[in-house]
Amino acid sequence: MKIILLGAPGSGKGTQAKLISENFNIPHISTGDIFRFNIIQKTTLGIQAEAFINKGELVPDSITVSMIKDRMNEEDCSNGFILDGFPRNISQAKSLNDILEEKGQRIDKVLFFDVPEYIIIERVVGRKVCKNCGAVFHSKFKPSKAYNKCDLCGGDLIQRKDDNEEIIKNRMEVYISSIQPLLDYYGNGGPLLVVNGYGDIKDIYRSVEKALIPI
């Protein structure tokens, strides 16, 4: 199954993507995670992307699309994938369509996580990520067992540079200006489904499963 997850930064799509990936056995492709990995590794891609990310701006489409094209050509994507954080605008959506069309494929489902804005800010500001493995925690909603240590690998938990209140405002503006055109693009009889992204992680996942496998 080829799935796109849409939603604001902090809407929980990354958390849900991990659960879908485990249960459906398809890779979770997060453009944000790929960029962050490349920044840590100091690759050319990481160096190109870092300044944009730290300001809360989008990395230029040419860089992002070529990265996603390479990723989707990898063997593990042959049975499907979950795109988290891509596409972020119509131009990326059209490029994705072209990439898939070349392979005779198309997107099966697009899930939009609907979460009120005041909750988004609270979620993002309290978010902590593991420096080692990228696992995501939250000081209030999902605290780690030991203070600032990852439950999974024991790595240090840090706040993402772009998760502070100032930058998140910019990220929200970028998001708000681009989400409606994407909803229009995938809606109107297309593969778009809206999921309530507010509440317990397990309850949200149940709605996700229902959307992916309608009874």
Residues near ligand AMP, by CB under 6 A: 9, 31-32, 35, 52-53, 56-59, 64, 85-86, 88, 92, 162, 171
Least distance to ligand AMP from the beta carbon of 208, Å?
18
The answer on whether 150 is annotated among ligand-binding residues is yes
Nearest residue (CB) to ligand AMP, 92 versus 207:
92
Nearest to 53, CA basis, from 69, 74, 72, 37: 37
Give the whole-angstrom CA distance, residue 30 versus residue 168: 18
Nearest to 150, CA basis, from 165, 128, 166, 168: 128
Nearest residue (CB) to ligand AMP, 27 versus 32:
32
Least distance to ligand AMP from the beta carbon of 69, Å?
12
Nearest residue (CB) to ligand AMP, 177 versus 203:
177
Least distance to ligand AMP from the beta carbon of 86, Å?
4
Q: Are 52 and 59 in contact (CB under 8 A)?
A: yes
* Residue 176 CA from chain centroid, whole number: 15
**In this structure, which amino acid lies at residue 40?**
I
Nearest residue (CB) to ligand AMP, 36 versus 109:
36
Q: Are 128 and 159 in contact (CB under 8 A)?
A: yes
Number of other residues whose CB lies within 10 A of the CB of residue 182: 20
The token pair that represents 53 in the structure block: 């990310």
The answer on whether 129 is annotated among ligand-binding residues is no
The answer on whether 115 is annotated among ligand-binding residues is no
Q: Where is the binding site, in residues?
A: 10-15, 31, 36, 57-59, 85-88, 92, 127, 130, 133, 136-137, 150, 153, 160, 171, 199
Q: Where is the binding site for AMP, in residues?
A: 31, 36, 57-59, 85-88, 92, 160, 171
